[in-house]
Structure 1
Amino acid sequence: MTSASELLALRSELTGSLVLPGDDAYEAARTPWNLSVDQRPAAIAEPADIADLQAILRTATAAGLGVTVQPNGHGANGDLSGVVLIRPKRFDLLAVDEQARVLRAGAGVNWGRALERLDGTGLVALAGSNPEVNVVALAIAGGQSMFSRRYGITARSIISVEFVDAAGTVHRVSDADDAELMWALRGGGGLFGIVTEIELALYPGDAIFGGGLMFPAEVAEAVVTAAFELARDEPELGLDVGMMHFPDAPQAPPHLRGRTVATVALVHVGDEATGRAFADRIVAVAEPISDTLTSFTIGSLAAVAAEPVEPMPSADFGVALDGLDDAFAREFVDAFTRGAARGLTRCGIRAMGGAIADELGAEFAAVGATQADALMSCSVLLFDPTIDVDAAFAPMRDLAARYPGGATLPTFLSSGATLADAYDRDVLDRLAAVKQRVDPGGVIRSNRPLG
């Protein structure tokens, strides 16, 4: 049998769905979050249960196909030729044990739903701020939360993982069952099996204050400098500093079209008075043109962050940075301004340090203790096909080369990057050894391969 006939046979076997090339639904089903990535998998499966997953893995192995997972299409990184793409939307279990401080989430659960479930518990998860990001995907890929400087990287909060291996065997593992595999799952991504469920530790957070500030470009240097000083002084404060250039186009708010602005987002776990005192250190240097700072509970995190939730075409560049002094702030503003003139849309610098850099417990996770001062991520929106992406990123790449920060997190990697761009050789070798043990045939593919 050919792979095409085997996939047709598989479709009749599944309780869930299987979309194949040539089907009317194929174009929509294959589309990732980043619309500029042209991925063309051999099939797109939406399994209804574990039995469906086992059938998919069995068929893929027999047909010589790989299998990968993209819950919502984030992290798409290649064309997926010869790969069955799984969308685990129906794995939608969600439960919170308030007494044990544990979140249990199926592989189809997004952070928006999980955070709404946590509302009123006085507990927070180390969540992404975009409600459309998947809980499992963020956690196993390392992840970074605005709560991470206080409580650590998301991957290090993983308690247990349920997954189906390439042979179709179901496993539920914790440190007591297989410490080395758990180490790999905490930052190694989807290399080791099809994750169906995860347990994450929860942390105290009954009072939260935060939101965003936006400033005109003319005061960007003073704002960025003040924000970096605040990050150094308050290692538990979640802080993201950046700049944005809004196109003179209908996609942008009318009052911001064609404008460049500086942005500061902050999240403080604690009372409003303390949080406002932190924010006042930035507002004291310039008057914001927008201020969304407020007290809130965890269920409103996504609304406070107000990140884009619709897929769009973009190119990305991510890197770790060190040495964020006053000179860096000046160079950052200059580099962004030059990049924006060539099409650069956004550049954010997420403060690291605090619990992220804590070595205590780092040996239990591949993601380890990241020591960089910050992680920078830049984007070029590709609505205009004439944009020269390399030219737009060039000033930021030059800046990053002058302030290298070493290893980054997989979730901040650029499109086309591999785990070799995030981890050192020792970590990669350990991950490869675990991969060889649990999937010697290489059936399970990851959006971030080892190298």
Structure 2
Amino acid sequence: MTDARATALEDLRSTLTGTLVLPGEPEYDAARSPWNLGVDQRPAAVATPADVADVQAILATARATGLGVTTQPNGHGATDALEGVLLVRPSAFDEITVDVEGRTLRVGAGVNWGAALQALDGTGLIGLAGSNPEVNVVGLALNGGHSMFSRLHGLTARSIVAVELVDASGEVRRVTDADDAELAWALRGGGGLFGVVTAIELELFEADVLFGGGLVFPSESAVPVISAAFALARDVPELGLDVGMMQFPDLPVMPPHLRGRVVASVGLVHVGDEASGRALAERLLAVAEPIANSLTAFTIGSLAAVAAEPTDPMPTADFGASIGSDDDGFAAAFVEGFLAGAAHGLTRAGLRAMGGATAEELGSELSAVGAVHAPLLLNAGVLLMGPAVDPVVALQPLRDLDARYGVAGGVPTMLGPGPLSLAYPPEVLERLAAVKQRVDPSGVIRSNRAITG
């Protein structure tokens, strides 16, 4: 780092109400650490602004020194491309306001879905939340977002009503369709390229009763169970379904019925009563006897228990793809591919059922993330448990599966690391680039996902 930049960052620290951590300081490693501990990002500094004025000061310093600015609430989707970049952690922006009458949720940029869902409990309203309570509300929405409610109500980005941000020039803006329809379009799926977001407002939906949970089956039943789940998804397009395979380590901390096993799983979310939900689940239970069954009536505050995903950061290598088939042949190929990868350390592979509202064309003027015509989105990961695990080898069977069954397009949040060009066609990328040029011609604002690679 040049002396001029170092001096500018020290001056910035003296003006902030929040904090700024620099390389070499004791707090730096913890401050820079992303959600995926396998990513070694080394920003020029890590800022935790206390308020909007702090954000403006951070951007002013970046403009004056040629540094970039990127925002990572929790570090999801992080890459190691942060040289010469100021990393912003918006944890102090922790507002949560539920407008029951107006059916909107307003949250600060530091709020995770777990806290937001707790605030929704008892309101009779649901938001298009992610499956993990530690996923940030703003991050999920800006990057497209897929929810177990998306087949009923659409992708999370499409529920954005308003975004409050500080743009690259330091101007504080509230962006809606009414005052800047093109920027609002870009924010619905274009990620964090257009400003430092401080708050977001999302549309909420009525849901008085919910039913769902997880079913776990032995790997011997995987093909017929997954085929049955695909058929259920086709027949009931509003039902949330997450189908997958998982390899559990042979460790004493694992539950005895899962320790060292490869299993198939089906997560199910039904907006409706228990009786109608169990009738749908019976189509899966008739195929094979599960080794675990957590199906139950629940309230929105307990949504995260359906997926029961790990909530602690860990080192992983991830892969995602859009899949163009959901027939019995693909079910068999998916299981075969997972088992081949599991022999080399593949940990998990999930398939989110699409269709329903995710496939509806709402018009390009509304949202950068458009209709998804692929029936399935694949997302897989390898837990990097030591040098013996080679993620390239472990993920290769799924890459081969993608080569056979993959299709273009998708949702950025479900496609693993990489640019927006993995998800969007050229005309959308060109439009996003035009918005970027208008609101940030100097490229001060950076994102985990560039428009093109």
The TM-score, its normalising length taken from structure 2, stands at 0.98
1:207 matched to which residue of 2?
Answer: 209
Q: Secondary structure at the match of 1:282?
A: helix
- Alpha-carbon separation, structure 2, partners of 1:383 and 1:79: 23
Tell whether the 8 Å contact from 2:132 to 2:311 is kept in structure 1 after alignment: yes
- Alpha-carbon separation, structure 1, partners of 2:368 and 2:230: 28
- Alpha-carbon separation, structure 1, partners of 2:390 and 2:25: 34
Letter matched to residue 418 of structure 1: P
2:136 matched to which residue of 1?
Answer: 134
Q: Are 2:312 and 1:319 equivalent residues in the alignment?
A: no
1:449 matched to which residue of 2?
Answer: 450
Q: How does 1:8-87 map to 2 (within 5 A)?
A: 8-87=10-89
Of residues 252-261 and 144-153 in structure 1, the stretch that sits farther from structure 2 once superposed is 252-261
- Alpha-carbon separation, structure 1, partners of 2:240 and 2:248: 25
Shift in Å, 1:251 = 5.4
Letter matched to residue 445 of structure 2: I
- Alpha-carbon separation, structure 2, partners of 1:259 and 1:362: 45
2:234 matched to which residue of 1?
Answer: 232
1:258 matched to which residue of 2?
Answer: 260
Q: How does 1:283-294 map to 2 (within 5 A)?
A: 283-294=285-296
Tell whether the 8 Å contact from 1:373 to 1:405 is kept in structure 2 after alignment: no
- Alpha-carbon separation, structure 1, partners of 2:84 and 2:77: 18
Q: How does 1:103-118 map to 2 (within 5 A)?
A: 103-118=105-120
Q: How does 1:12-411 map to 2 (within 5 A)?
A: 12-250=14-252, 252-361=254-363, 363-411=365-413
Across the two proteins, how many residue pairs are aligned to each other?
450
The TM-score, its normalising length taken from structure 1, stands at 0.98
Tell whether the 8 Å contact from 2:408 to 2:422 is kept in structure 1 after alignment: no
Tell whether the 8 Å contact from 1:66 to 1:442 is kept in structure 2 after alignment: yes
Residues 251/25 of structure 1: CA separation in 2 closer, same or farther (3 Å cut)? farther
Q: Secondary structure at the match of 2:346?
A: coil
- Alpha-carbon separation, structure 2, partners of 1:392 and 1:363: 41
Residues 36/277 of structure 1: CA separation in 2 closer, same or farther (3 Å cut)? same
Q: Secondary structure at the match of 1:195?
A: strand
- Alpha-carbon separation, structure 1, partners of 2:429 and 2:319: 22
Tell whether the 8 Å contact from 1:37 to 1:79 is kept in structure 2 after alignment: no
Deviation digits for residues 251-281 of structure 1 (CA, Å, limit 9, x no counterpart): 5334322210000001000111111111110
Tell whether the 8 Å contact from 1:362 to 1:369 is kept in structure 2 after alignment: no
Tell whether the 8 Å contact from 1:220 to 1:262 is kept in structure 2 after alignment: yes
Shift in Å, 1:336 = 0.7
Tell whether the 8 Å contact from 1:78 to 1:447 is kept in structure 2 after alignment: no
- Alpha-carbon separation, structure 1, partners of 2:429 and 2:372: 16
Shift in Å, 1:337 = 0.7
Shift in Å, 1:124 = 0.3
Letter matched to residue 201 of structure 1: E
Tell whether the 8 Å contact from 2:257 to 2:291 is kept in structure 1 after alignment: no
Say what the alpha-carbon RMSD is for the aligned residues: 1.0
- Alpha-carbon separation, structure 1, partners of 2:255 and 2:114: 24
Q: Secondary structure at the match of 2:242?
A: strand
- Alpha-carbon separation, structure 2, partners of 1:161 and 1:262: 39
**What 5-or-longer segments of structure 2 have no aligned partner?**
none
Tell whether the 8 Å contact from 2:362 to 2:370 is kept in structure 1 after alignment: no
Deviation digits for residues 327-349 of structure 1 (CA, Å, limit 9, x no counterpart): 11111111111110011000000
Deviation digits for residues 300-319 of structure 1 (CA, Å, limit 9, x no counterpart): 11133311100000000100
- Alpha-carbon separation, structure 2, partners of 1:248 and 1:8: 49
Residues 361/429 of structure 1: CA separation in 2 closer, same or farther (3 Å cut)? closer
- Alpha-carbon separation, structure 1, partners of 2:320 and 2:406: 12
Shift in Å, 1:362 = 5.1
Shift in Å, 1:384 = 2.2
Letter matched to residue 4 of structure 1: A
- Alpha-carbon separation, structure 1, partners of 2:415 and 2:216: 26
Deviation digits for residues 217-248 of structure 1 (CA, Å, limit 9, x no counterpart): 11111111110010110000000000001122
Residues 170/377 of structure 1: CA separation in 2 closer, same or farther (3 Å cut)? same
Tell whether the 8 Å contact from 1:32 to 1:76 is kept in structure 2 after alignment: yes
Residues 144/362 of structure 1: CA separation in 2 closer, same or farther (3 Å cut)? farther
Tell whether the 8 Å contact from 2:214 to 2:265 is kept in structure 1 after alignment: yes
- Alpha-carbon separation, structure 2, partners of 1:295 and 1:435: 45
